[in-house]
Structure 1
């Protein structure tokens, strides 16, 4: 799943990291997973829902890149279920929070 998300968001052109960004760019994307829900039938897992939070940090207007994130995640099969913009006073960065989910059938 990490590779799918990185391949999906990488073409936006800003760094994408799982959980913790350690680079020096002013603008970056990080993502992490939220608790997962599994559905079972007759003690067999039939599908799972993967929830992911994608955070965009930028000193500039976040709307253009946030729009690209939403479009690219949708194209990859994810559904958006949360969106919020805030300003981080301690870093002077806009923080655009997006949450998505994808349902995967188990083999």
Structure 2
């Protein structure tokens, strides 16, 4: 895997924790949490990003298929992956399609 991947810039399967002001804390729910476990990623996963990273860019960096993510939480606010804008210092979480109704309400994305 490319050197940048080992330093959190293209996390893929061999992510090594990054740190610094250009780093986010990334978490995942449900089946995506299982993906983190399978890849041996810590929770939260520190990931280095550039200012204004979009949701699709983050998913490409992590080698996660877009259809695996329905909602991206950026600092607690639920947005569709296509509308997510992420910068260093943000706390980010990914939720897959199929989150049960009551949890959708609690997490704030029932209408998505």
TM-score (normalizing by structure 1): 0.32
Q: Which has the higher Rg, Structure 1 or Structure 2?
A: 1
More strand by share: 1
More helix by share: 2
Q: Whose RCO is larger (CA < 8 A, sep 6+)?
A: 2
TM-score (normalizing by structure 2): 0.31
